[in-house]
């Protein structure tokens, strides 16, 4: 028997005893495919995000609007951490950027940026095996992203001792690999 | 001669395969770093918000940014990440009533469209809350655009529990597609259906779309648990794509330009 309940701090509207799933956003890839980002939650595996790719044409039928699933990728792939994806965007080279929140424990989280190739695999040429923390310390939740004038803008939340604030950063890409050095974030009205 | 040709061919194939296998590892690696030319040493901090008000960033033509929170306030940043204090929009809670849960913003030309929902307590039963969904439009200077809808917003009629707008899309011709759900029954058996509604550029309901302006999913045989669309996208040729969750899997629906079509599901489930 399924009973409906609410999981605190999760934007889930439909939560059963052991799982929850919600589409987050939908965009078009550069070659016309339809990309749908969603996430699921279960007691056993925690949070995980998925990106689905549909063909651009789809097949319209009596009981089916779209067929043609081309890829189905879960992330993080091999890591046991829980990941709540919040937003994604596609660059001019059809690479997919996802921003979200990685939970080490219920109270310990950080914003994470993930880059995938056009076919949904993690891009090993980016950051640390396709994954990067943000270059600003203290952003516990990654929420939104967009390219503006070919530059990547990321927005997240800093949970301070006394309040929480929106933090918007702009990043640039540099040759190299691994995690970026993190600059300190100063929000006195929240932390002092 | 033939042996020489075969040997040469073998070497070409070998060299090609080695080259192909080496190519991916030769791709230049990159990583991110803070762009210190933006805001205050690379970052900009918004107004105080609570954890339940996650931000959205939206690029503007010319390089500026809109940063919205889910209580309806919208900040403007210039291309260098500096806030424009005159460009901030504070949601008029006193004038418009309950604090909203703004789900999405979009640009209609240079004007800003925002959509979401708010909760209201029933006058008959204080223990019962229902939702109203709304859309409003701001001018280029972040003022309420009173030429839109009814004095700047599309009236939020009583719709029952579960009436929400979750995502909006402005079409090339300026019309507004709004995805969400609409309540169809009252307490104690609240029920909602997933809907896609289209409005004309001035905020009037576009009655040429679907059934008098709205596409209702459950009328086409979807499970009862499908209560809302969460994301929407204009498809090629003026069609509409929307995705939601039906209690078991993510469902993507494709409609024609006029809101006609059949619903179905596709993709893998968790």
Query: Is the pLDDT assigned to residue B23 strictly greater than 60?
Result: no
Indicate whether B103 belongs to any domain: yes
> Which residue range(s) make up the domain with B205?
54-255
10-residue mean pLDDT series, chain A (192 residues) = 30 43 76 76 68 58 28 45 81 89 76 84 88 92 88 89 86 94 87 75
In a domain, A165, yes or no: yes
Q: Looking at beta carbons, which residues of chain A come within 8 Å of B244?
A: 23
Whether B129 maps to a domain, the answer reads yes
If one counts every other C-beta atom within 10 angstroms of the C-beta of residue B13, the result is 10
Residue B26, Ramachandran bin (φ over 0: left; ψ between -120 and 50: alpha; else beta): alpha
The pTM is what? 0.80
pLDDT on residue B261: 65
User: Does residue A11 belong to any structural domain of this protein?
Assistant: no
* Nearest-CA distance B207 → chain A (Å): 23
pLDDT-wise least confident of A169-183, B74-88, B149-163, B169-183: B149-163
A60 Cβ under 8 Å from any chain B Cβ: yes
Task: Measure B6 CA to nearest chain A CA, in Å.
Answer: 36
Task: Report the 3 state secondary structure along chain A.
Answer: CCCCCCCCCCCCCCECCCEEEEEEEEEECCCCCEEEEEEEEECCCEEEEEEEEECCCCCCCCCCCCCCEEEEEEECCCCCCEEEEEEEEECCCCCEEEEEEEEEECCEEEEEEEEECCCCCECCCECECCEEECCECCCCEEEEEEEECCEEEEEEEEECCCCEEEEEEEEEEEECCCCCCCECCCCHHHHC
Q: What's the domain range around A57?
A: 19-176
Average pLDDT over chain B, rounded to an integer: 77
Within a domain: A130 = yes
Give contacts of A185 with chain B, Cβ < 8 Å: 43
In a domain, A106, yes or no: yes
In this model, does residue B265 exceed pLDDT 50?
A: no
CATH at residue B233: 2.40.128.630
Domain annotation covers residue A186: no
Q: Test B267 with A172 for CB contact under 8 angstroms.
A: no
pLDDT at A153: 93
Q: Tell me the three-class secondary structure of B115-130, residue by residue.
A: EEEEEEECCCCCCCEE
Is it the case that residue B165 has pLDDT exceeding 80? Answer: yes
Number of structural domains found in chain B:
1
Query: Where is average pLDDT lowest: B5-19, B66-80, B83-97, B150-164?
Result: B5-19
Distance CA B5, CA A91 (A): 45
The predicted-structure confidence for B199-255, as pLDDT tens digits, reads as follows 999 999 999 999 899 988 754 444 455 678 888 988 777 788 888 876 666 777 778
The pLDDT of residue B26 is above 80:
no
Say if residue B198's pLDDT is above 80: yes
Contacts of A26 in chain B (CB under 8 A): 231-233, 241-243, 252
The answer on pLDDT for B113 being more than 70 is: yes
Looking at the complex, report in whole angstroms how far the Cα of residue A13 sits from the nearest Cα belonging to chain B: 10
pLDDT band, very low/low/confident/very high, at B8 (cuts 50, 70, 90): low
In a domain, B35, yes or no: no
Identify the CATH number of the domain in which residue A44 sits: 2.120.10.10
In a domain, B211, yes or no: yes
| Count: domains in chain A | 1
A176 touches chain B (CB under 8 A): yes
Give A133's strand partners. Answer: A112
């Amino acid at each position: 028997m399924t009973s409906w309940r609410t999981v605190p701090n999760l934007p889930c509207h439909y939560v059963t005893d052991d799982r929850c799933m919600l589409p987050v956003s939908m965009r078009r890839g550069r070659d016309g495919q339809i990309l749908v980002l969603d996430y699921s939650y279960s007691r056993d595996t925690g949070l995980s995000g998925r990106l689905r790719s549909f063909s651009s044409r789809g097949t319209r039928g009596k009981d089916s609007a779209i067929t043609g699933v081309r890829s189905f990728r879960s992330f993080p792939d091999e890591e046991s951490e829980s990941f709540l994806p919040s937003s994604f965007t596609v660059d001019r080279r059809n690479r997919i950027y996802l921003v979200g929140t990685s939970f080490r424990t219920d109270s310990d989280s950080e914003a994470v940026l993930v880059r995938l190739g056009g076919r949904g695999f993690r891009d090993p040429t980016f950051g640390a095996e396709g994954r990067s923390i943000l270059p600003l310390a203290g952003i516990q939740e990654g929420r939104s992203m967009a390219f503006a004038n070919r530059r990547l803008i990321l927005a997240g939340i800093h949970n301070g001792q006394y309040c929480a604030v929106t933090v918007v950063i702009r990043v640039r890409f540099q040759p190299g690999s691994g995690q970026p050095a993190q600059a300190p974030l100063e929000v006195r009205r929240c932390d002092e | 001669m033939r042996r020489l040709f075969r040997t040469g061919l073998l070497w070409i194939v070998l060299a090609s395969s080695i080259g192909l296998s080496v190519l991916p590892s030769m791709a230049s690696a990159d990583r991110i770093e803070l762009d210190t030319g933006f805001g205050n040493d690379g970052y900009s901090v918004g107004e105080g918000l609570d954890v339940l008000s996650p931000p959205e960033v939206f690029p503007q033509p010319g390089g500026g940014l809109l940063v919205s929170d889910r209580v309806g306030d919208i900040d403007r940043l210039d291309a260098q990440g500096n806030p424009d204090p005159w460009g901030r929009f504070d949601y008029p809670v006193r004038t418009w009533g309950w604090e909203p849960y703004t789900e999405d913003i979009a640009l209609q030309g240079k004007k800003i469209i925002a959509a979401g929902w708010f909760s209201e307590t029933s006058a008959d039963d204080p223990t019962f809350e229902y939702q109203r969904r709304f859309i409003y439009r701001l001018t280029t200077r972040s003022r309420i655009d009173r030429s839109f809808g009814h004095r700047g917003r599309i009236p939020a009629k009583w719709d029952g529990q579960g009436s929400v707008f979750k995502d909006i899309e402005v079409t090339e011709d300026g019309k507004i597609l709004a995805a969400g759900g609409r309540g169809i029954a009252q307490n104690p058996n609240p029920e909602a259906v997933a809907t896609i509604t289209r409005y004309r550029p001035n905020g009037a309901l576009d009655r040429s779309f679907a059934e008098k302006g709205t596409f209702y999913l459950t009328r086409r045989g979807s499970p009862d648990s499908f209560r809302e669309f969460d994301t929407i996208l204009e498809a090629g040729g003026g069609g509409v794509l929307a995705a939601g969750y039906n209690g078991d899997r993510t469902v993507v629906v494709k409609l024609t330009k006029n809101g006609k079509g059949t619903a179905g599901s596709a993709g893998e489930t968790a």
